[in-house]
Structure 1
Amino acid sequence: MSRSDRLIRLMQVLRRLPSPVTASRLALEMEVSQRSIYRDIQSLRSSGAIIDGEAGFGFTLTEDPSLPPMHFEADEVEALALGLHTVAKLGNIEFTYAAQNALVKLEASLPQSMRQRLRHATVGSHILRNTPTSEADFPGLREAIWNEQAVSLNYLDLKDRLSKRKVWPLTIYFFSEVQALISWCCLREDFRMFRLDRIQSVEFLEESFRPKRVGLLRDYFEREKECE
């Protein structure tokens, strides 16, 4: 890891951990020596970051020059808090981590008065964590969706029948109890939904369906509206 990357990561750790954070805790998080932490803290201060504290007492990031204050109304802050807290509870490891990091960055970018609205929002959410576990390659599927790359699925339907399908992945939808891949099925030449927990394996094919994804998604959602 380059020194610049390490400094960026240290800033993120300072935002995330409860303050004051001791040098030993920072060294553990960063996997470096305490001596390196002291040097990096000084470098961040020289770059304009206001970090209170010293050796033996811990450090607190009080102002981050890389994130200027953002102007949000109180209800906008609470809406963001509600959305990010809900995403963090969905049971998906990648999105849980991303939502937690986004909350940390959002809080660091807000003026002090709005940070209280973020920390103590008047609304909340509760999601039962009974989502079936999935062996599907979630990051790989998201990348295939973005790149408009065809995939081959080994899929076990609700009657435990195994089939192989070549599909064009369009989006992953989070329902209350399951996560599903909405796709264009090349065999049926129609839209199909595949539960992630029923996907046995994924093969990423050297076949692109660009630029059809946006149009197909529009057609899918228009059809869904007609069925409501």
Structure 2
Amino acid sequence: MPRSDRLLRLLHAMRTMAGPLTAARLAEETGVSPRSLYRDIDALRSAGARIEGARGYGYRLLEDPALPPQMLDRDEIEVLALGLAEVRAWGDPALARAADSVLAKIAATLPDERERQLLHAIAQVFRPEPRYAAPLDLAPLRAACWQEQAVDIRYVDGDGAMSDRTILPLALFYTETCVTALSWCCLREDFRMFRTDRMADIRVNGTSFRPRRVPLLRDYLAQLQARHRARDDRGSNPASVTVN
């Protein structure tokens, strides 16, 4: 592994793990020997990183030169802490890990007082059960959205009928009750919403629909907004939408 990559990996470990961290623990996390770890600590300090600690005690990253300082007020810090706590409560392991990583990276750029406020925010989220209990890992579906690749799903509709569909996933919507994939359905040749908790299987088939995602999503959102306006004019619930 190139030394620059190794140093970035060490910085990430020190941002995301609770300190003080022993040299042995950091060496294990970054895959180097303790002797190399000591040299890497010295290199980071020479580059401007404020790392507290010494051999036999442990290390803690106080200031990270790789990230610019953030000027956030107390309310903005509460918003960050509350939003990231909500993401961790969704029940998606990949997004929970990402939320922890974001929290650690932002904390590393804050002055000491603001860092304490972020890590010990007064706004908390308590959910004894995950908010979204999707039976499948949604990481492939998110990746397909980003990579603009078609997905084969086995889907159970509201009447209990199962069908195999090929969809072009455009975006994921997180609502009060479920995560919904806004998609182009290749079977119906039209826009459709698919609840992820009704998906029995998700397989990315590798077929690219780039660069159609952005215009498709724009057209779908425009249709939804027009439908909501029409329902609002008729006095019906503008928030209701049809989901397969």
Q: When the two structures are superposed, what TM-score results if normalisation uses the length of structure 2? A: 0.83
Contact 1:154–1:202 (Cα < 8 Å) also in 2: no
Structure 2 counterparts to residues 22-61 of structure 1, below 5 A: 22-61=22-61
1:55, distance to aligned residue in structure 2 (A): 0.8
Aligned mates of 2:60, 2:25 — CA distance in 1: 13
Structure 1 residues 101 and 22, CA gap change in structure 2 (3 angstroms): same
Contact (CA 8 Å) 2:90, 2:131: kept in 1 or not? no
Tell me the TM-score normalised to structure 1 length.
Answer: 0.88
What's the counterpart of residue 145 of structure 2? 145
Residue 221 of structure 2 corresponds to which residue in structure 1? 218
Give 1:189 shift. Answer: 3.6
Over residues 119-156 of structure 1, what are the superposed CA-to-partner deviations in whole Å (9 max), with x where a residue is unaligned?
Answer: 222222233326334335x3332232223333332223
> Following the alignment from structure 1 to structure 2, what is the Cα–Cα distance between the partners of residues 167 and 5?
38
- In 1, the alpha carbon distance for the partners of 2:25 and 2:210 equals 48
Q: Name the structure 2 match of 1:14.
A: 14
List alignment gaps of at least 5 residues for structure 2: 232-237, 239-244
Q: Between the two proteins, what is the percent identity of the paired residues?
A: 39
- Note the C-alpha offset of 1:209: 5.7
Is contact 2:170-2:183 (8 Å) kept? Answer: yes
Map of 2:184 onto structure 1: 184
Aligned counterpart, 2:209: 208
1:148–1:133 CA distance, 2 compared to 1 (3 A)? closer
Give the CA deviation at 1:112: 1.7
Give the root-mean-square deviation of aligned CA atoms: 2.2
Runs of 4+ in 1 over 6 A off after TM superposition: none
Deviates more, 1:173-182 or 1:112-121: 173-182
Q: Deviation at 1:185?
A: 1.8
Counterpart amino acid of 1:30? Answer: T
User: Relative to structure 1, is the Cα distance of residues 96 and 223 closer, same or farther in structure 2, using a 3 angstrom cutoff?
Assistant: farther
With 38-47 and 122-131 compared, the bigger mean Cα shift is at 122-131
Give unmatched runs, 5+ long, in structure 1.
Answer: none
**Bigger shift: residues 98-107 or 5-14:** 5-14
Distance in 1 separating the partners of 2:184 and 2:143: 16
Comparing 99-108 and 57-66, the one that deviates more: 57-66
Work out whether residues 70 and 109 of structure 1, in 8 Å CA contact, stay in contact via their aligned partners in 2.
yes
Q: 1:101-180 counterparts in 2 under 5 A?
A: 101-127=101-127, 128-129=129-130, 131-136=132-137, 138-180=138-180
Residue matched to 2:66:
66
- 1:205 and 1:69, CA in 2 relative to 1: closer, same or farther beyond 3 A? closer
Distance 2:68 2:174 in 1: 33
One-letter amino acid of the counterpart of residue 182, structure 2:
I
2:141/2:202 contact within 8 Å kept: no
- Deviation of 1:25 after TM superposition, in Å, equals 1.5
Q: 1:162-191 CA deviation, whole Å, 9 max, x = no partner?
A: 211222211112234432212122333433
Q: Given that residues 191 and 220 in structure 1 are in contact (C-alpha distance below 8 angstroms), is that contact kept between their aligned partners in structure 2?
A: no
